[in-house]
Structure 1
């Protein structure tokens, strides 16, 4: 990427912001090395990393990078056999803990969001918790080796504390003596060179024995170790040497353990730096209210309400820019201080940010392109050192660009052709633009030359644009208007500032008629554009209101349907409970009747009681049928033999006998057939058995003996042969009527009829199982058969 363009477009300021968002020096190091990439796939991957980190931060907050430092130099020394200091070992322990926290963080985010890139980065991170625990067992948070590091160290330190106590006790006895106090500068005990001493006045040196270790700056005080504590201090010195030796042994052991894992920990450290850098990109995006752009390598740019990220959001004016579709170059005209240069820098800087994997300060849906390079000639390039004028400096830059630019480049030119004679400058500007346009690169250029307006108007693939100017206030609005060339506002500004009218009129007379016509045409275009924008804004407001009303109506309709179903379910449940209560009361009455009949010898037939119970069961309301699919929904696929539910009959179940081909089906409902629309059906099960289908077809012409659907058959008084014929016909009718259970009343008697009937049921194809009646169903005088 062109380094001069990076500096001109202030890319380095974005990098400094990014580095400031990093939590570790590892992340800052990566941020400072960040440069745009020319590869589309790499750009998309970098942007996806930023997007995943943004979603992670939104779900679980900031990632935990606290306490993580760059321990790579320490790991290198440990790998080479060097001894690490306690503080270095604690940094490594903090790193191991940080790895574990970060893996937990990413794992918890992955349960709620799709973050494959972050998961892949964290997957190889190792967890050396035993090493961390060993370090923390030996070293505290302040970097001091603990007594618990080894039994030897604990024993030595106990001896040191005892020896120090004895030495201090001996010296305190001396300084409390009145004969000694007069020779002391102060009655206190101090330490010089790890040995306990007392401050003695210079004039009493000859009267005071011992070893002199130091003296004050004035020489009036000598720090003397009395002979009485020399042996004690010597002993303490030996103990402290033993302590240092033991500490060194502990540190070497921990350093050796660290060195064995140095390579893996080094890789983990670099991964943590990368993750910190990625989350810093997400933090920068959040602070700038930036969004994820769509990227391509086809030269297409579509920026929606793009804002320069280095300008205060309260003051910046958004711009819309399209490039690379029907036109590949934009010529921007307009007055100075109107925002032309800021528009150029916004386009260039946002392109560099997107190519670096950073979100851009534009609305969602914006599109940018991956260029092989971006070239920018912006601002006053006058060079005193090289004795170059502004024009010469611009030409030098342009010549350098022309030798490198390709069809995949973006060229940003500010005040093209300025700094020389207007006629020559405009001609040169047109020639340069024509050359770049033939190459096929993307171009945005600003100019004051009116000749370039005509060039852009007549040249296919080049579009005029201007910075909006408010004629009422005579101030720029800083909005970029693509498709409208800029016009001169010198006369209006001069009149507003008080220039005499006769001078202005004279000036107008000096302007050619063609230029005045063009100026009038541009003014008309601007007026039409403002009116169109106003009408479009009104239309957008109306559309938003209609959409809001539509959503409200849809939500109310949905709530109404839910309330309707709820009320129906409550009503049916209430009815079901009422019938169940009545059924319980009827059962109690029937039981009481049986008891009375048994006691008084009355004759109450069991099958009449069974029929009464069946009527009670039929009175219980069926569960609510669910609403059918909407009219626009595609009818379900239904084939002959399928079990279906008929919505219009309250969810009654049946089997499809045949399809008519006119959007209807013939449905077998018990012993009846009826035509039903396919949209009124819902499949509820697999196809019925083939035999059932055949028999069901015959059921439309065969009726029961008394044309009433029965659930019981009274066989009392019949011979076994007669009973078998009746039972066979009765079971066929019950099966065709989709009855699940029937009652065969054979009485008790000798049991021969019951045995014969049950033997027949055992072999019958429609019978799933059978049993004797329970209490209240007739007992041993009734056989209850369950049908398939």
Structure 2
């Protein structure tokens, strides 16, 4: 496997990922990266990368700063070693970084409700260790300096140190400022030698100050002397600094003990943080190369859409579609040198290794790759002078090793199979090797120059030809991979473009047998057909995409229409309920009035009871047209459904027509452009085809059974009421009525006024008057018709 990783330049991909790692922990995890052969493990790795990409897409960045590899610190503290202030600082910073990253991921998972269960699982494993972090931060500042507040003793000692330093400096400054001593000094400054304050004295005045000589200049002209007057103070200062050093050591030892108590938790956190850093590095790399998550399988099938080699620049690489392991397991690629055959071969191998390493691949969505147990590659010239191996021998040695290990769970890549020896023997050997690999069930991609292998795929089941396209006009390869078309020789065309005499080209063509010419012609025809098919497919795909878009828009519009309809029906039901409630209240009032009359001893005449009943009938709301339609639909739902009926598919909420009655319980229904089989229980009858009926004219007039002698306009809008009055008068005339009542209620009087104005202008109205005491009074207008 190591040889395959080297040949396919796997290390260069890891080098690109290294640029996106945030800590040494992630770098170490990256160095350990190796393709897995277990589908479940690869699938988990891919999902981790996908979740990392989701976080980056939504948040832009992840808080991974301040994390150090403190493995050695934790282990040394665990066995009783004392950590330095800077090491303790790194421990506290790492604890804080882990806690901050944990909060970031847990909050994102809870609030945004995005699908990052794997990252959430990692975050849940991080132990906060807040007490240890705070203990360190209270004693050590960001620069690794132990603070005075670390302990009361340390504060006292440092106060003494500052006091002693101030005293020493004060005495020495008085000496340097004195005019009598300035001439004895090389410079009027105070400096430090051997951690003691001294002044620079000229050699000839050595005995004027007494004290201790700590150092001298290179020339010997200046001596650095600690005057006798400050020796005692310097001794006290030195003793205080010794106490400070011991107190600092004690504080660091205590903090190291606290770290030792949680060393195992720190090591666990480091492992989790290393995984998270590595996952986000993979996600950043996927974003950089515009990679997508591939589907995975163990069937040896791969289909990569618009695959790109990740190590090539975008302006240098031409995306290719690669399919293998379905109807064919052997892909034979032919074409000219520098045409991109080897790049195609390496792209297949490297993308397979990347996918099995949990890396997203540079290709379009819905690409699919297989998880192979073994990947073999024989690519490049490995001629060895030291081993006295020729190119052919070197390749064959590698191929022999491959054939000894290959099985049905292997991917094999051969570059220029059979090259380096006699063409006839090399081609025969190549065919035999391909047959052997195919018979073992492995997937194989091979590149070759041999014309004999161009016909290989046509004579072998499970094999497919492919070629790298070459533009004869520009004399350059296009790097496009054509599946199903073998590469053809372009020697004659290229020679003609370069100006070779046509006579020489014709003579060369005569040297080629007719069978070879027929093959070349067939290949040329296949290339033309392939290009035509690709063009037509692209056009069809564009039309299909447009159709899908229109279908989605129509579906959304229909859904909005249905929602609006349901809303209007609901409003109508609410309005009807209010009307019923109003009717009940009015009925109660009428009954109460009758009871009051009886209590007062007033006899209620028959016409009064009839009038009260009439008011009670008028108080009962009639269904609006929409409500009638709803009741009609409800009734039709119980009817038999036949072909041609308009129905509603309840599970979809869509209307359609019954095309065919398959059985008593199943129907074929067309919704828009779609036809489907639907159970009877899932259908609601909307309407049946209208039947045209003709009735005798004599039946229209006098049919008073369908036209009442009164019209109730209460609750109607003004414009609707006027239209109803006009239609009602026409219906009443046809029904043979001479007198009718129009009930408009009292209200604001606007409806009553409008009705009377209309009646005065109507040519069929003979007379109109307000209703009497027993006819509703001002709330009713009695109309006499001509």
Length-normalised TM-score, structure 1: 0.75
Q: What pairs up with 1:470-489 in 2 under 5 angstroms? A: 470-489=471-490
Between stretches 10-19 and 467-476, larger displacement belongs to 467-476
Q: Please give the secondary structure, in 2, of the residue aligned with 1:309.
A: coil
Q: Please give the secondary structure, in 2, of the residue aligned with 1:382.
A: coil
Distance 2:190 2:593 in 1: 113
Q: What pairs up with 1:638-717 in 2 under 5 angstroms? A: none
Between stretches 479-488 and 392-401, larger displacement belongs to 392-401
Residue 351 of structure 1: aligned partner: 352
Query: Contact (CA 8 Å) 1:300, 1:369: kept in 2 or not?
Result: yes
Asked whether 1:398 is paired with 2:414, we answer no
TM-superposition CA deviations, 1:468-517 (whole Å, max 9, x none): 22344343211111211111111111111111111111111111111111
Distance 1:507 1:635 in 2: 73
Query: Contact (CA 8 Å) 2:211, 2:228: kept in 1 or not?
Result: yes
Asked whether 1:633 is paired with 2:649, we answer yes
Q: Please give the secondary structure, in 2, of the residue aligned with 1:82.
A: coil
Between stretches 28-37 and 458-467, larger displacement belongs to 458-467
Query: Contact (CA 8 Å) 1:19, 1:32: kept in 2 or not?
Result: no
Residue 279 of structure 2: aligned partner: 278
Query: Contact (CA 8 Å) 1:580, 1:620: kept in 2 or not?
Result: no
TM-superposition CA deviations, 1:668-693 (whole Å, max 9, x none): xxxxxxxxx996699xxxxxxxxxxx
Query: Contact (CA 8 Å) 2:648, 2:683: kept in 1 or not?
Result: no
Distance 2:234 2:615 in 1: 109
Asked whether 1:514 is paired with 2:530, we answer no
Asked whether 1:300 is paired with 2:301, we answer yes
Inter-CA distance 199–548: structure 2 relative to 1 (3 Å threshold): same
Residue 27 of structure 1: aligned partner: 26
Distance 1:203 1:417 in 2: 94
Query: Contact (CA 8 Å) 1:303, 1:367: kept in 2 or not?
Result: yes
Q: Please give the secondary structure, in 1, of the residue aligned with 2:647.
A: coil
Inter-CA distance 634–195: structure 2 relative to 1 (3 Å threshold): same
Query: Contact (CA 8 Å) 1:464, 1:482: kept in 2 or not?
Result: yes
Residue 247 of structure 1: aligned partner: 248
Residue 80 of structure 2: aligned partner: 81
Distance 2:447 2:386 in 1: 27
Q: What pairs up with 1:91-490 in 2 under 5 angstroms? A: 91-111=90-110, 112-490=113-491
Residue 546 of structure 1: aligned partner: 547
Q: What pairs up with 1:536-575 in 2 under 5 angstroms? A: 536-563=537-564
Q: Which runs of 5+ in 2 are unaligned?
A: 638-645, 653-663, 667-680, 687-786
Distance 2:291 2:682 in 1: 53
Query: Contact (CA 8 Å) 2:427, 2:450: kept in 1 or not?
Result: yes
Query: Contact (CA 8 Å) 1:290, 1:359: kept in 2 or not?
Result: yes
Query: Contact (CA 8 Å) 1:576, 1:621: kept in 2 or not?
Result: no
State the Cα distance separating 1:392 from its structure 2 match.
2.0
Query: Contact (CA 8 Å) 2:647, 2:685: kept in 1 or not?
Result: no
TM-superposition CA deviations, 1:555-588 (whole Å, max 9, x none): 333344445556677789899999999999x99x
Inter-CA distance 538–187: structure 2 relative to 1 (3 Å threshold): same
Query: Contact (CA 8 Å) 1:20, 1:28: kept in 2 or not?
Result: no
State the Cα distance separating 1:24 from its structure 2 match.
0.9
Between stretches 102-111 and 86-95, larger displacement belongs to 102-111
Inter-CA distance 575–201: structure 2 relative to 1 (3 Å threshold): farther
Distance 1:542 1:182 in 2: 101
TM-superposition CA deviations, 1:610-645 (whole Å, max 9, x none): 989977975599998799899342599xxxxxxxxx
Distance 1:192 1:479 in 2: 77
Distance 2:338 2:88 in 1: 59
State the Cα distance separating 1:455 from its structure 2 match.
2.6
TM-superposition CA deviations, 1:77-110 (whole Å, max 9, x none): 1111111111111111112112211221221232
Query: Contact (CA 8 Å) 2:648, 2:685: kept in 1 or not?
Result: no
Distance 1:679 1:612 in 2: 42
Distance 1:110 1:613 in 2: 65
Residue 47 of structure 1: aligned partner: 46
Length-normalised TM-score, structure 2: 0.75
Distance 1:277 1:557 in 2: 48
Distance 1:631 1:281 in 2: 53
Query: Contact (CA 8 Å) 1:84, 1:251: kept in 2 or not?
Result: yes
Query: Contact (CA 8 Å) 2:292, 2:360: kept in 1 or not?
Result: yes
TM-superposition CA deviations, 1:169-210 (whole Å, max 9, x none): 111111110011111122121222222111222232233322
Residue 763 of structure 1: aligned partner: none
Distance 1:213 1:662 in 2: 113
Inter-CA distance 602–188: structure 2 relative to 1 (3 Å threshold): farther
Coordinate RMSD, CA, aligned: 3.6
State the Cα distance separating 1:609 from its structure 2 match.
13
Query: Contact (CA 8 Å) 1:23, 1:276: kept in 2 or not?
Result: yes
State the Cα distance separating 1:438 from its structure 2 match.
2.3
Distance 2:563 2:4 in 1: 62
State the Cα distance separating 1:252 from its structure 2 match.
0.7
Query: Contact (CA 8 Å) 1:125, 1:268: kept in 2 or not?
Result: yes
State the Cα distance separating 1:400 from its structure 2 match.
2.0
Asked whether 1:8 is paired with 2:7, we answer yes
Distance 1:123 1:452 in 2: 57
Inter-CA distance 228–356: structure 2 relative to 1 (3 Å threshold): same
Distance 2:327 2:682 in 1: 52
Distance 1:581 1:203 in 2: 124
State the Cα distance separating 1:325 from its structure 2 match.
1.8
Query: Contact (CA 8 Å) 2:295, 2:366: kept in 1 or not?
Result: yes
Inter-CA distance 581–326: structure 2 relative to 1 (3 Å threshold): closer
State the Cα distance separating 1:447 from its structure 2 match.
0.6
Query: Contact (CA 8 Å) 2:65, 2:97: kept in 1 or not?
Result: yes
State the Cα distance separating 1:553 from its structure 2 match.
2.4
Inter-CA distance 212–607: structure 2 relative to 1 (3 Å threshold): farther
Query: Contact (CA 8 Å) 2:209, 2:228: kept in 1 or not?
Result: no
Q: Which runs of 5+ in 1 are unaligned?
A: 637-660, 664-676, 683-788
Distance 1:179 1:471 in 2: 100
State the Cα distance separating 1:603 from its structure 2 match.
9.4
TM-superposition CA deviations, 1:368-397 (whole Å, max 9, x none): 122222111112222233333222221222
Query: Contact (CA 8 Å) 1:294, 1:368: kept in 2 or not?
Result: yes
Distance 2:102 2:280 in 1: 14
Q: Please give the secondary structure, in 2, of the residue aligned with 1:172.
A: helix
State the Cα distance separating 1:602 from its structure 2 match.
9.0
Inter-CA distance 579–439: structure 2 relative to 1 (3 Å threshold): closer
Distance 2:99 2:651 in 1: 55
Q: Please give the secondary structure, in 1, of the residue aligned with 2:456.
A: helix
Distance 2:620 2:216 in 1: 116
Residue 534 of structure 1: aligned partner: 535
Between stretches 23-32 and 89-98, larger displacement belongs to 89-98
